[in-house]
A and B are shown apart, each in its own frame.
Chain A
Amino acid sequence: MHSLHSSKRSGATDEPAWVRWLLTVAALVFLAFFLLLPLAAVFTEALRKGWDLYWEALKEPEALSAIKLTLIITAIAVPLNLVFGVAASWAIAKFDFKGKSLLITLIDLPFSVSPVVAGLIYVLVFGAQGWLGPWLAEHDIKIIFAVPGMVLATVFVTFPFVARELIPLMEAQGTDEEQAALVLGASGWQTFWKVTLPNIKWGLLYGVILSNARAMGEFGAVSVVSGHIRGLTNTVPLHVEILYNEYNFVAAFACASILALLALVTLAVKTWVEWRSERQMAAEQAVVHDH
C-alpha cells in the first residue's frame, strides 16, 4: 500500500503491513471517538434548530456582554504574563545563578494547582473574610465577585505559558549573538530589541497563543471568584454553564461554538508557527553547513 508505508525504514526494522494498518486504524478510531466526535457535537448541537436561532443566541445582550468581558480579561492578563515571561526567560536562560531549577519549578507551579484551588487562594486574600477584605471594604474596592479578581485568577492559570516556551528556546540559542552586539557598541536595550527579540519571535507568539486560548476558556478558577452576576461578571465559559443548566441547549452550544472556533484557530496558528520555526531552523542550519 503506497499510502501507508513507514518512512526511512525497511525490511528488518519494519512491521508487517497488516500490523501497520491495524495500529493506524486503532489510533485513528480512538482519536475519532475522543476528539473528533466531541468537537463535531458542539457545532451540530449549536445548529440543531437552524442558523436563525444560532444568531439569535449570539446576539443576546447577555451573550454579548460575556464576550466583551472575556476579551477585556484576556487583554489584561496575556500582556502581563508576556512581560513576565520575557523577563523570567532572560534571567534564567542568559545567566547562571544558584537556585535556578527551584525558580523554574516555582514558575511551573500554577500548572499543577487545581483551577478551583487557584480561585480559592484569591478569595482567601481579597474576599470579605480574607486578609485584605476589611481594608478593601473600607475603601470600597471590590476584587472578589468583580472583574479584578477574575483577571487575577486568569493571570494565575496562564502564568507559566510564555516563560515555559521561551526558556528552552533562549537556552538553546545561547548568548553569543548578544555578546557580539554588545562588543560592537549596542546598548542593552538595543541588543534586546534588535538581536534577542527577532530570535525568539516564534516562541513568543506560540506562548501568547496558548495563554490566549487558556485565558479565554478558563472556567474553574474564574467561576470561583466571579460570583456569577449575570451581565456583569459572566465570561463566555460561565455563560455557557448557565445556559446549559437552564436546559437552553441551543444557546449554550451556540456560545460554546465560538470557543470551539477559537480552539481551532489556536491549533491552526500553533501548527503554522511550528512549521515556520522548523523552516527557520532548517534554513539556519543550511547556512552553517555552507560556510
Chain B
Amino acid sequence: MRFRQASVLPGFGLAFGYTVFYLGLVVLLPLSALIIKTSSLTFDRFWEVVTAERVMAAYQLTFGASFVAALINLFAGLLVAWVLTRYRFPGKRLVDALVDLPFALPTAVAGIALTTLYAPNGLIGEWLAPLGVQVAFKPLGVVVALTFIGLPFVVRTVQPVLQELEAELEEAAACLGASRWQTFGKVILPTVLPALMTGFTLAFARAIGEYGSVIFIAGNIPLESEIVPLLIIGKLEQYDYAGATAIASVMLLISFGLIFVINLIQWWHGRRHGMRK
C-alpha cells in the first residue's frame, strides 16, 4: 500500500509539506501546549479547579443557554430556510444575504447592539419590562446573544437540501393521498433531518465558545450569568495560568466531542444516502 496514488500533476510534495508544516506550527503545536500544560497538573488539583462551584455554575449557564439558543435556531432556521427556498416575496435576495450578518458582524458590535436593545430602557427592553421580563444582564440575555450568532448555521445547512429536494417525491406522496402536512412529516422532514442535526450541532458548538457577543449582555454576575470563556479570562488576569488551562482543556475536549458528533451525523447520512442508490 502506498501513501499516495500516482498522478501526473506536480507539486504534491511542496503543497502537502507546506500544509502540514503550517498546520503544525500555527494550530497543532500551540494546542499541544495546552494539553501538556494541563497534564503538568496533578489530577486532584485539576479536578478541584474544574469542579469548583463557580465553574460548575458557568458550565450550566454556557451549556444550558447554548442548547436553548441552538433549539430556537433549529425551528427558526428551518422556517427561514423553507420560506427562502419555497416562496417568492419582494426583497428576498436582500433577506437571503442578510442571513449571513452574524458571520460578518464582529461579535463585540453585536454584543453592544443587543445590550442596548434589550436593556430595561432599550427599544425592546422597555416593552418587556412591564411584563416582568428582564433580558439584559440575566441568563436570558445570554440566550438572545447566542441565538443571534448561531442563526446562519441551521439556515445555511438546510437551505441547499431543501433546494435539491425533488418535486417528484412530493408529487408522488400527494398522488398516493398524503395531505400536505403528512408529506412534510413523512417525506420532507426525514430528508432534511441530517442537515438539521448538523446545523444544530454547529450552532451549539459555536455558542459554547462564544465570548464577544455575550459578555456585554450577560452582566457577568458570578454564579448567575458568568460564561465559561469569561472564567478563563478571569483566571488569566489573575496570572492563574494552571487554572485557566484546566478549564480551557475541558472546553477543548467538549469541542473535540462535538466535531466527532458532526462527523458521525455526516457518516450516518452518507451511508443512508448510499443505500438508497
Which residues of chain A have C-beta atoms less than 8 A from B93's C-beta? 271
Residues of A within 8 A of B14 (CB): 87
**Which residues of chain B in 1-23 are interfacial with respect to chain A, using CB atoms and an 8 Å cutoff?**
1, 3-5, 7-12, 14-16, 18-20, 22-23
> Which residues of A20-76 have CB atoms within 8 Å of chain B's CB atoms?
20, 23-24, 26-28, 30-31, 33-39, 41-42, 45
Q: Which of B29, B101, B104, B241 has the most CB of A within 10 A?
A: B104
- Residues of A at the B interface (CB closer than 8 Å) are 3-9, 12-15, 20, 23-24, 26-28, 30-31, 33-39, 41-42, 45, 84, 87-88, 90-92, 94-98, 103, 105-110, 112-117, 120-125, 127, 129-131, 152, 155-156, 159, 175, 178-179, 182, 188, 191-192, 210, 213, 216-220, 223-224, 236-238, 240-241, 244, 249, 252-253, 256, 259-260, 262-264, 266-268, 270-271
With A20-B87, A120-B236, A259-B109 already in contact, the answer to whether A266 and B104 are too (CB < 8 A) is yes
Cross-chain contact B255 with A113 (CB below 8 angstroms): yes
Main secondary structure of the interface of B (DSSP, over half): helix
Query: How many residues belonging to B are interface residues under a CB distance threshold of 8 Å?
Result: 96
Residue from B20, B34, B87, B258 within 8 A of A124 (CB atoms) = B34
Given known contacts A91-B15, A260-B105, is B97 in contact with A267 (CB within 8 Å)?
yes
The reply on B103 being an interface residue by CB < 8 A is: yes
Whether the pair B29, A114 counts as a contact (CB closer than 8 A) is no
Docked Cα-Cα span, A109 to B175, in Å, equals: 46
CA distance A191 to B209 in the complex (A): 42
| Contact flag A117-B87 (CB < 8 Å), given A30-B79, A91-B19, A97-B5 | no
Residues of chain B lying within 8 A (CB to CB) of residue A15: 180
Q: Which residue of A lies closest to B83 (CB)?
A: A27
**Distance to closest chain A CB from B163 (angstroms):** 11
Check if A120 sits within 8 Å of B90, measured CB to CB: no
Q: Distance in Å from the Cβ of B237 to the closest Cβ of chain A?
A: 10
Determine which of A45, A87, A117 lies in contact with B116 in the assembled complex, contact meaning CB atoms within 8 Å: A45
With CB as the reference atom, state the residue of chain A lying closest to B80.
A27
